[in-house]
Amino acid sequence: MTGSIDGHTRSMGRTLRLVFWALLFWTGLAVFFASQIVLLSRGRIPWGGALAFTMPRWYVWGLLTPGVFWLDRRLLSGRSLAGRVALHVPLAVACTCLSIVIRLMSRPIRGSPWPPSIADFFLERFYWDLLIYAVIAGVAISRDYAARVQQRERQAHELALEAADLERRLVEARLQSLRAQLQPHFLFNALNTISAFTETSPQTARRLMGQLGDLLRASLTHGARPFVTLGEELTFLDDYLAIESARFEERITVAVRADDDALDVMVPSFLLQPLVENAIRHGVAPRLSGGHVEVTASRNGSRLTVRVRDNGVGIPQDWTLQGNAGVGLGNVVSRLEHLYGKRDLLRIARVPSGGIEVQLDLPLRSAGEGE
């Protein structure tokens, strides 16, 4: 009930302010044209007489203007400009005649004498009042067009916001899908590693199962965020390598080195594990003598440079990232493109002495930007 009263009070306040400014505007016009009469008469016509001539005209048009605006908005809005102007012609004649009739009928009330000729009275005022109507109608049309343009701009802005929000949600859904593909992919490989020890070394299999449980619990927290610190990513990588090293024993070694000032840089979660897994399984594992994988990370100006290098079998000459990348590597490329909006953040090069090097050049992100 109180809210209804407050709303009514505010509405009344707005109406009173509008009436005040409208009265001030039409009074100002009457005074302006009255000054012309006073100046042209060289003072023979006093201000009172001049205002008595100009005020009825402008006050009557002040009363008719809301009606002109209403008719234009209700009956003519939405038509072509030519059609709209054409329909205003009969309205102009009608409103002009109405304005003159009101002023004529009000003369006895104002104490003015009845004109000797009604026809002359109309002709003296008709053309000038017709121009007044044209100005009012022009303002009404312009105001309506401006309101429609503003409405279209608001609608376009709202559509742009909806499109941006939809694009953001699609990107988030895509990233969630990519992370969902990585985790089962990693899990299946880990289970395959453990299953290899089930018959030959049950004790090792049990130990690896315990490590896998710890790793999966850590991955729930790790994978719930799009970005983690490089330090967190390296900790997760160490847990993964603890399982992988059991399978390959001493045949494959992995070295990880990161500058201290790079550990707090935000990087996409599950970034390094698929790259290291790819280097082990497709690079050094096929070699009978095994091999070595090296992971390095350092700040380089406004970027974080991460390299994963192996001395394995390398890649064929016709190998391309777009056509030959597996699930893990392909998902890393897609996630980097979605998260950073760039395609050239990951590069793969052949190492002259054998093997390949994967290099990432990531824009630096603070902890606040990475959430």
Per-residue pLDDT of 62-77, as tens digits, reads: 999 999 998 888 888 8
Token couple for 82: 């030519």
Name the residue among 320, 318, 308 with its Cα closest to residue 281. Answer: 308
Residue with tokens 């005209």: 57
Q: What is the mean pLDDT of the chain?
A: 82
Characterize the bridge pairing of strands 266-268 and 252-258: unpaired
Token couple for 63: 């009363």
- Could you report the per-residue pLDDT of 180-230, keeping only the tens digit for each? 444 565 677 677 777 877 878 888 888 888 877 877 776 666 656 778 899
pTM for the model: 0.51
Measured in degrees and rounded to the nearest 5, phi and psi for residue 268 equal: -60, 140
Higher local confidence (pLDDT), 351 or 179: 351
Predicted confidence band of residue 129 (pLDDT cuts 50, 70, 90): very high
d(CA 121, CA 303): 85
Number of alpha helices (DSSP H) and beta strands (DSSP E) in the chain: 11, 7
Name the residue among 200, 216, 209 with its Cα closest to residue 273. Answer: 216
d(CA 297, CA 301): 13
d(CA 329, CA 69): 66
**pLDDT for the residue numbered 370:** 47
- Is residue 294 helix, strand or coil? strand
**pLDDT for the residue numbered 306:** 94
Token couple for 65: 């203007």
Q: Are 281 and 247 in contact (CB under 8 A)?
A: no
Please say if the pLDDT value at position 236 is more than 80.
yes
Q: Are 349 and 357 in contact (CB under 8 A)?
A: yes
**pLDDT for the residue numbered 134:** 92
d(CA 351, CA 353): 6
Q: Which residues sit opposite 291 in a β-bridge?
A: 252
| DSSP for residue 226 | S
- For residue 212, how many C-alpha atoms fall within 13 Å in the half-sphere facing its CB? 22
- Could you report the per-residue pLDDT of 247-306, keeping only the tens digit for each? 676 678 889 999 999 999 999 888 888 888 888 888 887 777 778 899 999 998 889 999
d(CA 70, CA 92): 14
Sheet (strand 346-350) strand order: 252-258, 291-300, 303-310, 356-363, 346-350
d(CA 148, CA 153): 9
Instruction: Specify whether the backbone of 233 is left (phi greater than 0), alpha (psi in -120 to 50) or beta.
Output: alpha
Cβ partners under 8 Å of residue 275, min gap 6:
308, 328, 329, 332, 358
Cβ partners under 8 Å of residue 155, min gap 6:
none
Please say if the pLDDT value at position 23 is more than 50.
yes
Q: Are 125 and 53 in contact (CB under 8 A)?
A: no
Q: How many residues does the chain have?
A: 371
